[in-house]
Chains A and B, each alone.
Chain A
């Protein structure tokens, strides 16, 4: 299978979950494991561009498909992906554990639908649990992400870091 564009061999054991394969066999620890029953969303990755729970897939099921993880969004040392940038601007993360799952959910939506409705944006963030932020900043980040990803964006460019008073 291809993971972040790189060919990877399938794991030996069929019972290896995709989440564990990514984290421990490939060392891509950006995908996190919070519950292993599909509820928390921390393990969300893209399968052929569509957001899925990697804890609910066997790694062997990825054969012949493309998997994108959080590490695959931005080049090393390169600028952040617009969705990542939006989360930064809007203080959409605190401990950062649920963050890759949220980011990939939003990326999954915007890749398929760059001009989502309010309901669709809301739906993209309502399947993941966060314990730190209370979701308000995540909601703001999702909307900002849609702004930054929209082909119409360019007028209100990404905000620079607050330089203090």
Chain B
């Protein structure tokens, strides 16, 4: 006998709600609260709350922090702060000039209305293996800056993504900035999805000689352009078997290299 519950819900469970006005305040909350979750754009987190698939005890809403939405140039690349909306990055002339790969990638992320609210840093912290931005960061070899009550550290892209929806960020860390190196002349982002705006069945990001794949492993992975599917063991789901994913990677890689 079993008692599997009817787990289907659409209103969030109760949680403590906090809206700090500064990064320091936010970090202090993340350090002191039991089981806190950062709320930025909410485009990934709120559906999970609605379905009660995520049940954090506390939400730390960072949207009230002023001056955390900048997109600026530094160190030969573009820095995107925690509250910079995906739409702002998409429309940014700075991004178009310095890192057009990032601008192109933005247009593949969900739909415009989602991008109006969603954040780049939020997408990186959410680390969905089928999403574009983690793979872009990896292909470019960028990094993120994490702040906590204990201080600040930089996490390089190849150390950031540790598993499906998992990053190296500690529970008390706030991702305050993502840094994308300037994209070179030869770049491309290509994906196959079922509908416009859907998560990719498989995708490829080319940044010069570097190639990153998404949708085919628990995290985005760097690949060898001459043998992109080597070592890959993608999972299967309703719309793509592992074989189909491997096939798509070969097709997309060929296209990306020809661009």
- State the A residues within 8 Å of B (CB): 13-15, 17, 20, 36-38, 41, 44, 47, 50-53, 55-58, 60-61, 105, 108-109, 123-124, 126-128
With both chains docked as a complex, state the minimum distance between the C-beta of B29 and any C-beta of chain A, in angstroms. Answer: 14
**Of the candidates B39, B47, B50, B117, which one forms a contact with A52 in the assembled complex, judged by CB atoms under 8 Å apart?**
B117
When A14-B59, A15-B11, A51-B113 are in contact, do A57 and B17 touch as well, CB less than 8 Å? Answer: no
**Min CB–CB distance A38 → chain B (angstroms):** 6
Known contacts A17-B12, A127-B113; is-contact A55 B50 (Cβ 8 Å): yes
Chain B proximity of A3: nearest CB distance (Å): 18
> Is B96 interfacial (CB-CB < 8 Å)?
no
Q: Determine whether B43 belongs to the interface, using a CB cutoff of 8 Å to chain A.
A: yes
B25 contacts A by Cβ under 8 Å? no
Distance between B53 CB and nearest chain A CB, rounded to angstroms: 10
**Residue pair B10, A36 in contact (C-beta under 8 Å):** yes
**Alpha-carbon distance between A59 and B159 when the two chains are bound, in angstroms:** 36
Known: A14-B17, A17-B12, A127-B197. A56 touches B112 (CB 8 A): no
A131 CB to nearest chain B CB (Å): 15
Residues of chain B within 8 A of A60, CB atoms compared: 17, 19, 61
Contacts of A44 in B (CB 8 A): 113
- Inter-chain contact B43/A38, CB cutoff 8 Å: yes
Known: A52-B116, A53-B113. A38 touches B17 (CB 8 A): no
Q: Which of B14, B49, B111, B117 has the most A CB atoms < 10 Å from its CB?
A: B111
Which residues from chain B contact A38 at a C-beta distance below 8 Å?
43, 46-47, 114
Nearest A residue to B49, CB-CB: A15
In the complex, besides A17-B12, A38-B114, 7 extra interface pairs with C-beta distance below 8 angstroms are A15-B12, A41-B111, A50-B116, A51-B116, A55-B46, A56-B47, A60-B17
A62 to B102, CA, bound (A): 29
Known: A38-B46, A52-B117, A53-B117. A126 touches B11 (CB 8 A): no
Q: Are B113 and A58 in contact (CB under 8 A)?
A: no
Q: Which residues of chain A have C-beta atoms less than 8 A from B39's C-beta?
A: 58
Contact present for A56 and B117 (CB under 8 Å): yes
How near does chain A come to B193, taking the closest CB pair, in angstroms?
A: 13
Please, which residues of chain B bring their CB within 8 A of the CB of A56?
A: 42-43, 46-47, 117
